[in-house]
Structure formats: structure tokens, C-alpha cells
Structure 1
Amino acid sequence: MESITRLISIDRNSPVPLYFQVAQQLQQLIESGTLPPGTQLENEIALAEKFGLSRPTMRQAMQHLVDKGLLARKRGVGTQVVNNRVRRQIELTSLFEDLKRDDRRPRTEVLSLETVPAAGAVAVALGLEPGTPTVALRRLRYADDDPIAVLHNHLPADLLTLAEDDLAEHGLYELLKRAGVSLRTARQTIGARRATAAETRLLGESRGATVLTMERTVQGDGGRPVEFGSHLYRASRYSFEMSLTAH
């Protein structure tokens, strides 16, 4: 592959900041496939010297692309181009199913699985009296060995029996369907916020990173609520997509 210093041109008379000129052209090279996933980039000091830029300017350009999820810094490896972010259509499917369909090698770490009494928003979403037993599970979902989402689900305790081994190997919706639970409709709300310190550690994000949030209540036969989910996704590696039709 031709050196990126030959593929990127810098206009020092342009009002566009130098770091952004570099970052924007690097992004185009990544998105076009000229720099495919796994490409190892030289360190910032070497690149700064080759482009004739200051180290802070080069560092800012690289950090801009790290924040967008296009580059990743890995200890002992350096800076690499990473896989494109997960783009997910808004449909009544599970993240596990979507990742598997796109050949993104989903993997699940079960963080907790317990029976707890319904309370607050969970009781309301599932249409249960406060104190009714629910199954609460919390999982960390990976795509291509990178943490992508923290998933927190509640289900009525009388719906099915869940085991950690099953949750590690299969998506929740797959297990529900195997148990004969129909998934008919859902209400969903999407938002964004700053991640907590604990969340950034789980997701491998930098301090103060933004996460996407999604709350979803799924109804089964007869409109009975069968699952309430409250999930977090890495905004740098994940986006929702929807199709709109004019009437």
C-alpha cells in the first residue's frame, strides 16, 4: 500500500484546521477501503514529522478518529484501523441475531442473572404488581472481540427458565422463541448520555464517552409484556438506522 503521506495533502493556507484536514482525509481512506481494518499506522511522532506537523496537531487528528470509532489504540500493538461500526436497522430483532447475520462474531459475557421483585419502571413496563418476581439479567455483548453493548433485561419470572450457559451461547430472543414465547410488537425509545466510569471500563471507552441508550418493551400474544430491556451501546462503534417513507 502506498504511504499515507502520499495520499494526504495539507493546505496550510486553508481556513480548515490542519488536524481536521488530516483526520478528514484519513477517514475517507478508511471508509473507501484504501486503509482496510487491521491496517497498522505509524506512531504519532513519526507521522507528525512526515507531515511537517506538531505532535499535538497530529495527536488531535488521530484522537478525532479514535473518538469516531475508526481507529483504535491497543497497548503493545499501536494504532490500527478497526472494523466499521455496527449499523443496525430498527426492527424487532435481537442484537445477537443482527451481529450473527452480519458475520460480526457475537460473543456474550453474562454479568449477572438473578430473580428480583418488580419495582418502578420495570413493574410499569411489564404490567406487574410491585413485588412480583422477575428475572433480571445483565450481559456484555461483543462484536469481533470488541465490547459493543451492555444489555439489561427483565422478564416475568413465570415466563421461562434461563441458564447462564444458554445466555452465553444464544440471543435472548432466540431462547424466548424456543420456549414458545411469541414476540409480536414493541415500544422503543432511543437516546444518548455520558457513560459512567464503570460503563466506560466495561465498554473499553475513554472517560466521558457518549453512549446510546435504548429502552424497549416487547409484547407477546394478547399484548402481554414479555420483556423490558434497558441497554447501552458504544456511540463510537454503533448506530441505529431507519427507513422513512413519504406519504
Structure 2
Amino acid sequence: MTSKTLPRYRELANQLKQDILSGKMKPGDQLKTELELCEIHDISRHTAREALRILSEEGLIARRRGAGTVVADLAAPAFAQPIGDFDSILKYARDAHFELGSERPATPDEVSKNGLNGNYHVYTGLRRQDDAPPLALTTIYALSELAPDQETLEQLDTSISEWIETTHAVPVNRVTQRMEAVALNRTEAKALKVDAGSPALMTIRTYYDSTDRIILYSKSLHPAGRFAYEMQLDRTRTTGS
């Protein structure tokens, strides 16, 4: 059996990504052009273009007028999520992989404290994108009768809510979302690799089925600089007669 190797463009993207994340290349530094990358690494123009596309999609490089392609300012949020529709929440769940840390039945005190009613299973873990620092520390409560087991959760390539809809035919009818600025305690900060007391954005999402039963409840802590919400407000203008 032959070992599975990465495509050449992915290898180059990973190499350039490591140079950026390690600080070898700094914000504002100019990248080699596609033609220069082809000559240096003995690759095709297509391979070079694909590698740069990956870095661009991950927010690591940016094109600047008059300067070409440069290393992006990594102080900008690593993940920006539109606010206002359910599809954007699902996209975040798909793109930011949930790395399970622990799972167990929720205690009665936890259920009561979070305004839930019934039996729930609780999962705690990190949201990540590739090898970048974690985007969030997330705790998820799933109604026990609908909750996936550990093996299933670790293999999911979609959101838990979508898995519940597909597996149990229980669709999500509505989602409420609350956001609050908080300071991270020592345990939270250690998991997220920041200093204790660092600012964070806490998001709480509650998922209801058609009978208004809470089937999922999640609480995420996003360290400052790694996550942002984007919202577009259109001004409605009226014209007089």
C-alpha cells in the first residue's frame, strides 16, 4: 500500500503558511510572484496559483494596489461570520472544526443554570481552522435522546444540528443568539493559549424544534482578535410626493 501524499500546491501552501505563522515572514512583506515561485520550486503556474489561493482564502495574504501580494495583518480576526441568518451559523460549524476535549451527561445543576429542562449530554472542545490558534472554546449541550455518541461526533464533517435533522428527522425551527463581552478565567485562557483575564466575545446559541423544545444549546468563548461578526445595515429611504 502506498502512502497518501499531499498535492504539490498544498505542500507549497503549508510551507508558506509556516513561514508566515512562525514570523519568518511578517505583515506587509511581499510574496514571490507566481513566476518566481515556479522557478524556485520547479512547479507549474497552476500549482503556484492554487497555493496562493489557499493562503488568500485563509486570510494569510492579501493583494495591495502597487505592492502586489503581501502577508496580511494577522491581528485581524481569523474568522468573520455574517450575522442574521441560520446558514451563516451552519457555515461556521462546517468551516471551524470542533475538536472534542471531553463528553459526559450534563449535571442537574448545569441543566438548570443554563435554563434547560430535561436530560442533556455535554461536549466541550475547541473550534479550529487547520493549525491556526483555536477560534473558540465551545461547550455544547445536546438533548440526550438526540445526542451523537463520541465516535460519531469526532467524525462529523457537518454541524450537530444538521446531523440531528438527518439522523432523527428533527428539524431546527429557530435559533436565538446572544453575545456578550467577557474576561477569560485561568482555565479558559489556558485552553485558548492567551493570558488569564483576556477579553473575549461570548456567544450563546439556543436551537429549538417545532414544538419549542431546546434540542441544542451552545456557549462559545472567542478570544479578542480571532473572531468577528459582520452585519450589513441597509438604509431605507422614503421619498415624498
Q: With the length of structure 2 as denominator, give the TM-score of the two structures.
A: 0.60
Other-structure match for 1:119: 109
Other-structure match for 1:140: 126
Other-structure match for 2:100: 110
C-alpha distance in structure 2 between counterparts of 1:124 and 1:99, whole Å:
21
Other-structure match for 2:9: none
Q: CA RMSD in A?
A: 3.3
Q: 1:225 to 1:236 in 2, by over 3 A?
A: same
Deviation at 1:99, TM superposition (A): 6.3
Q: 1:200 to 1:141 in 2, by over 3 A?
A: same
Other-structure match for 2:80: 87
Q: 1:164 to 1:178 in 2, by over 3 A?
A: same
1:77-119, Cα deviation, whole Å (9 max, x unpaired):
xxxxxxx62100123257673364xxx5x43321111112443
Other-structure match for 1:35: 70
Deviation at 1:123, TM superposition (A): 6.3
Which blocks of at least 5 consecutive residues in structure 2 are unaligned? Answer: 1-24, 30-60, 237-241
Amino acid corresponding to residue 212 of structure 2 in structure 1: G
C-alpha distance in structure 1 between counterparts of 2:209 and 2:187, whole Å:
34
Other-structure match for 2:154: 168
Q: Is the 8 A contact 1:107 1:143 kept in 2?
A: yes
1:22-49, Cα deviation, whole Å (9 max, x unpaired):
xxxxxxx968474225xxxxxxxxxxxx
Q: Is the 8 A contact 1:89 1:241 kept in 2?
A: yes
Matched residues, number: 173
C-alpha distance in structure 1 between counterparts of 2:229 and 2:122, whole Å:
25
C-alpha distance in structure 2 between counterparts of 1:207 and 1:166, whole Å:
33
Other-structure match for 1:156: 143
Which blocks of at least 5 consecutive residues in structure 1 are unaligned? Answer: 6-28, 38-64, 71-83
Q: 1:234 to 1:124 in 2, by over 3 A?
A: closer
Q: 1:188 to 1:226 in 2, by over 3 A?
A: same
Give aligned-pair identity as a percent.
19
1:190-213, Cα deviation, whole Å (9 max, x unpaired):
011111222222112244321110
Deviation at 1:154, TM superposition (A): 1.3
Describe how 1:195-234 pairs up with structure 2 within 5 A.
Answer: 195-234=184-223
Secondary structure of the 2:217 match is: strand
Q: Identify which of 189, 209, 225 aligns with 1:236.
A: 225
C-alpha distance in structure 1 between counterparts of 2:107 and 2:197, whole Å:
32
Other-structure match for 1:46: none
1:199-246, Cα deviation, whole Å (9 max, x unpaired):
222112244321110111111112222111111112211001223344
Other-structure match for 1:98: 92
Q: Is the 8 A contact 2:111 2:120 kept in 1?
A: no
Q: With the length of structure 1 as denominator, give the TM-score of the two structures.
A: 0.58
Secondary structure of the 1:35 match is: strand
Q: 1:152 to 1:94 in 2, by over 3 A?
A: farther
Secondary structure of the 1:244 match is: coil
Secondary structure of the 2:106 match is: strand
Q: Identify which of 134, 155, 177 aligns with 2:165.
A: 177
Q: 1:133 to 1:86 in 2, by over 3 A?
A: same
